[in-house]
Chains A and B, each alone.
Chain A
């Protein structure tokens, strides 16, 4: 009974019901789900290797294989080697075959259909005997090809992975920073974080040393890592952050002890809110696009760098929403109950307050993902910050600029960007309406 009552007053259920009433937003959630499925299953949806093929008595699943070649034992005792990515599957004598819905890979040229073949126009196919024949319906390039003869539809499908991961991961980084910053600023305000003078200064000193041991000494190692690959950057960064945290924690403990000495045990306020608010103000005043373009121009072009840049510059909105929510939450009874029970501040903030204060941040996150995708596609349209061999919606659209007769290179990638951005914007609007307490009656 009490369980039921609790449920009927749940804010989550209420917000969900509100959200469902908002038809465009609810619909956009479905569209987003479909986009996510397309991105996840891109290698199965668009692949030039068959999903299933039987070749000279062997049963093969090329699209699902982790290896790049097959050693096939022939009936006459010889072995035939099939290199999966360069085999001409469409010309091979396959007994039975199941093709992917889009039987082309994004980065591979179809020489018979190079130089901008229109979706509706004449396309050609090399049949098994090597003759040039009109394109059979199954293998048509349904959204045309670009100059090199690469299939546009396949490119679009695979590029959805890049756009969605950039949007989600960069906003993930921004969310972590924004939530922590906003929670600290809102919870402590300017007067609630009280510590001793000794502990404060020891901790500040500790932070400098933590930076020194975590990042300065390891500067050369980090620089080398940035020169090599995305993974080792993350690994070395992680090690550095670990050292940083350990040293900072150590000095925190030392500070606790030193804070007990006379003169150093005077209580002081730390103006957390002022500090974080100023930081946000500064970040907002910096022209975002130019900042990102400048950094992307200086850093090595890579998808991971792009995610980091966007994530590190785009957390302010989330932090502001969270801060406002925490300003309200910190005076609620359950927080006071936690304080009087002697829970640590960290436990109260992250375990009790954060789950209740996170809702408004969703709005900022949804809009943020839309903005991140827009930034990514603008950058790849310009060819800045994204490696040139990566096919993205922006780079496809940009390639259409060189030949306006190839309208399919402009319309379809642009439409993909537009749909994704719209969907996230609608989602943000829907969330805002659903979570806005002013609408509650």
Chain B
């Protein structure tokens, strides 16, 4: 038995790793640049703009804070042409355009020199003096807008990888730098052009057909899991302690720590799941027994059909129908249409009883919607497992002994018939957490599901991945517990 449990736990670990990996892959492939999001959020919030004045510094800071200055994973398969320190470039678009250029030409040193010269050109714009002394022959406003335009053009050039686009932009810049006061820029541009020519001349495109394998002990995945300090003790961490210590990062929208948000929201998700599972069991076990014992009777046939129909009714349809019927001023206004408690809240110092009786009318419809799907499924499972048991020899023996039908069913049959139902618990529990997204949205319950929905609307990816990881781990634990429970409870199975 112990070896079985140990073996089961050993299988648990790779699955856990697989779930975190999957979550990580989804997070990494999310569109958009998280640094960009954070800089925008910070500007409106005014958090670090006081510390570091210019935006580049901000970008660098968030890049470091989010750990994006690290390679993605422990090992990376790349082309020989590709530079293995490309991840240090903090702008996502520029990083990508450089990566594409390298793939095309295969000579990283030259491309790096080109990028450096471009960067120098871009920075030079700050040093250009635009005043009446330096600008001759042009109006001051024109000069200013010209400088602005060329600044944006050179920034755009940094993120371009299409040769046609690059050449067009170089042409355009040459045109823009004609005035005398831009002579310094012109020199820099000549250097850029020179570098670009060198790239084309020394191109080694064959390099992209040769793979190269790199290993990075410090990387984004490692940091996400273990934090940026010591991986075992978590000491010395600067920005994140890692999900292993419950640090899931920062929400893009509220900039609160995600673990804090989750710990607030998880209560209602758990509440409804637990209530629905308990109610589901309370209803479905007697129902399943009755219809199995009276197999073929009218009661059995009606419940079977009814349960089948219930089983196929989409939960979101039922929930909407319930709201439409019982929370609709035009039909029956028995229950409020949304939320889990009165909007105005409860008076200061309201007692436990007062709070929950105030909430009761809000909870009725959600609980019905949560419960019915698990109960349809449970009753069907219960009926099938009871039917299998009832036909077995030992039940016939018990009947032959002259035991009352009641004793036979509830004492001899029920125990064994309950076994599959126990294991089903593991399936229902995570499903009701995950599947409740839609119900929480319909009833506006402030739980994890509606949090995920809001996160999707606001593209708050860390939140989505956190909920994914947490439900994944909960599911795994559910399976683990139910497997072990099964092994413990069922005397017929031996795990030697």
In this assembly, does B22 line the interface, its C-beta being within 8 Å of a C-beta of chain A? Answer: yes
Please give me the residue from chain A that is nearest to B23 by CB atom: A294
In this assembly, does A322 line the interface, its C-beta being within 8 Å of a C-beta of chain B? Answer: no
Chain A contacts to B: CB under 8 angstroms: 208-209, 211-213, 216-217, 220, 278, 281-282, 285-291, 293-295, 297-298, 300, 370, 374, 377-378, 381-382, 384, 397, 400-401, 404-405, 407, 410-411, 414, 417-418, 421-422, 425-426, 429
Inter-chain contact B464/A287, CB cutoff 8 Å: no
Inter-chain contact A297/B456, CB cutoff 8 Å: yes
Inter-chain contact B14/A282, CB cutoff 8 Å: yes
Q: How far is the CB of B321 from chain A (nearest CB, A)?
A: 6
Given the known inter-chain contacts A287-B472, A418-B313, please indicate yes or no for A410 contacting B19, CB distance below 8 A.
no
Inter-chain contact A421/B103, CB cutoff 8 Å: no
14 pairs of residues in contact across A and B, judged by CB atoms under 8 Å: A212-B211, A216-B211, A282-B19, A285-B19, A286-B18, A287-B468, A289-B431, A290-B467, A294-B464, A294-B468, A297-B455, A298-B461, A404-B328, A425-B311
Chain A contacts for B471, CB-based, 8 A: 287, 290
Number of interface residues of B (CB under 8 A): 57
Query: B113-121, B139-147, B339-347, B434-442: which one contacts chain A?
Result: B434-442
Please give me the residue from chain A that is nearest to B455 by CB atom: A297
Chain B contacts for A289, CB-based, 8 A: 431, 434-435, 437
Q: How far is the CB of A6 from chain B (nearest CB, A)?
A: 35
Chain B contacts for A410, CB-based, 8 A: 317, 320-321, 324
Given the known inter-chain contacts A286-B475, A382-B437, please indicate yes or no for A414 contacting B314, CB distance below 8 A.
yes
Inter-chain contact A417/B314, CB cutoff 8 Å: yes
Chain A contacts for B430, CB-based, 8 A: 287
Inter-chain contact A397/B441, CB cutoff 8 Å: no
Inter-chain contact A374/B464, CB cutoff 8 Å: no
Inter-chain contact A290/B434, CB cutoff 8 Å: yes
Inter-chain contact B324/A282, CB cutoff 8 Å: no
Distance in angstroms between the alpha carbons of A405 and B323 in the assembled complex: 11
Having A217-B209, A291-B468, A410-B324, one finds 5 other A-B pairs with CB under 8 Å, namely A289-B435, A294-B23, A404-B328, A414-B321, A418-B313
Inter-chain contact B29/A282, CB cutoff 8 Å: no
Q: Mark B322-349, 1 if CB is under 8 A from A, else 0.
A: 0110001010000000000000000000
Inter-chain contact B434/A288, CB cutoff 8 Å: yes
In this assembly, does B309 line the interface, its C-beta being within 8 Å of a C-beta of chain A? Answer: yes
Distance in angstroms between the alpha carbons of A165 and B260 in the assembled complex: 42
Distance in angstroms between the alpha carbons of A278 and B10 in the assembled complex: 12
Chain B contacts for A404, CB-based, 8 A: 323-324, 328, 330
7 residue pairs, one from A and one from B, having the closest CB atoms: A414-B317, A287-B434, A422-B312, A290-B434, A297-B456, A287-B471, A289-B434
Chain A contacts for B26, CB-based, 8 A: 294-295, 298
Distance in angstroms between the alpha carbons of A429 and B431 in the assembled complex: 22
Please give me the residue from chain B that is nearest to A295 by CB atom: B26
Inter-chain contact B456/A293, CB cutoff 8 Å: yes
Distance in angstroms between the alpha carbons of A374 and B316 in the assembled complex: 10
Inter-chain contact A217/B441, CB cutoff 8 Å: no
Chain A contacts for B438, CB-based, 8 A: 378, 381-382
Chain A contacts for B23, CB-based, 8 A: 294
Q: Report which of B18, B30, B209, B441 forms a contact with A298, defined as CB distance below 8 A.
A: B30
Distance in angstroms between the alpha carbons of A208 and B77 in the assembled complex: 9
Chain A contacts for B170, CB-based, 8 A: none
Chain B contacts for A407, CB-based, 8 A: 324
Q: How far is the CB of B165 from chain A (nearest CB, A)?
A: 14
Inter-chain contact B22/A291, CB cutoff 8 Å: yes
Please give me the residue from chain A that is nearest to B327 by CB atom: A404
Please give me the residue from chain A that is nearest to B210 by CB atom: A212
Distance in angstroms between the alpha carbons of A426 and B312 in the assembled complex: 10
Q: How far is the CB of A316 from chain B (nearest CB, A)?
A: 13
Of A287, A293, A374, most buried by chain B (CB within 10 Å of CB) is: A287
